[in-house]
Structure 1
Amino acid sequence: MRLKLLSPGEMNEAQKQTYDEAVAGKRGSAPAPMMAWLNSPEMARHATRLGEMLRFNTIFPPKLSEIAILVTARHFTAHYEWFAHKRLALKGGLDPKIIDDIRDRRTPEFDDPKARMIYDVAKSLHEGHGLSQPLYDEAVARLGERGVVEIIGLCGYYTMVSMTLNTFEFGLPDGEVSELA
């Protein structure tokens, strides 16, 4: 870990307010990257609010939104992010084979056309830096404009999360070994 993470007793007033708001939210705890972001309390506050919205209040159930998050974690080889969201994807009902395929950089087979579209959009955003017109048209038809906006939000937010976790070298919990190479 490149950064000393503050305990609540070491935080200044602005940091403590942001920390307390996160703990009182739907997560019930402070997300790991927020502990680094607390060096900029206002950024931490807004980023954590956005993360809570994207995690709990998109039009997609976790089984679908976690696809975009896992594609992002894999794209950045974000070990901590992968560890955390693989568990959430499994809990949300995502097929373990799909998770393994994303981990191994294989294109998964999907029974759900929405799941396939989320995967295709996330991959295109990361690898192609946008969407071709045909993919955009198909994504809007299948996911709606709000859905496309929220997938972009998920990929963008979790890009920031992945960059934070990687830059500050967040480790996995004791005894855990990364699945990503």
Structure 2
Amino acid sequence: MTDEQQAVCEEVLAGPRSRLPAPLRAWLFRPELARRGQSLGAYARYGTCLAPHLSELAILVTARFWGSEYEWHAHKTEALKAGVPPAAIDAIEADAVPDLEDQQSRCVHDLVRELYASRTLSEESYRRGEAILGRDGMIDLVAIAGYYSFVAMTLNVFDIGVPEGAERPFGRGKARAEAL
């Protein structure tokens, strides 16, 4: 690694993460992108006003939308720890609508799916989201969806799949030989 790449790695490990996030394998080729991306990621993961189970739910919906196996693999465990019901996780993995008991979880799920399906939110959905999550919650939800879309695209394009021996949730087939 160059001195600049090493400095980014040290910055990441000095923050709330205990390890280097997988997209850094690609981003480190562009150290300034890695620095800025990991900083936004630290906010999206640890700094928003949304409860951890809501953030993880949004991340799983994002991973499923993009078919990002590593993102799914990493955040399925985190979602379980945060209290997302296993049956809801299974439904999202199957690309089905989960049976979510609390209003905030249903709202997060529905808003993120609508955002990906239509690339915006209807006025009705926006008002519902603002009423349930608040303005700050809506801003943070869009930030989570945007950041984890960036992560998913990075992981998919550079074929950063699940760790060796782990189950491939979306059956994308064999990884490319030239993967990072």
TM-score normalised over the length of structure 2 = 0.92
The answer to whether structure 1 residue 153 and structure 2 residue 129 are counterparts is: no
Match of 1:65 among 26, 39, 55: 55
Kindly indicate whether residue 13 of structure 2 is the aligned counterpart of residue 23 of structure 1. yes
Match of 1:130 among 116, 120, 127: 120
Shift of 1:109: 1.2
Task: Give structure 1 stretches of 5+ with no counterpart.
Answer: 1-10
Name the structure 2 match of 1:98. Answer: 88
Q: Which amino acid aligns with 1:134?
A: E
CA distance in 2, matches of 1:155, 1:72: 6
Structure 2 residue 171 is matched with structure 1 residue 172: no
Corresponding letter in the other structure for 1:169: D
TM-score normalised by L of structure 1: 0.92
**How far off is 1:180 after superposition?**
1.6
2:74 is the alignment partner of 1:84: yes
Moved over 6 A (4+): none
2: CA distance, partners of 1:13 / 1:174? 29
Tell me the distance in 2 between the aligned counterparts of 1:72 and 1:102. 10
Give the superposition deviation at 1:20: 0.6
Q: Which residue of 1 aligns with 2:178?
A: none
Aligned to 1:4: none
Could you tell me which runs of 5 or more consecutive residues in structure 2 were left unpaired when the two chains were aligned: 172-180
Residue 144 in 1 paired to residue 137 in 2? Answer: no
Identical residues among aligned pairs (%): 40
Number of residue-to-residue matches in the alignment: 171
- For 2:37, the aligned partner's letter is A
- Equivalent in the alignment of 1:8: none
The amino acid of 2:134's aligned partner reads: G
The residue matched to 1:32 in structure 2 has which SS? coil
**1:65, 1:171 → 2: CA distance?**
22
Aligned partner of 1:13 in structure 2 is 3
2:177 maps to none
- How well do the aligned residues superpose, as a CA RMSD in angstroms? 0.9
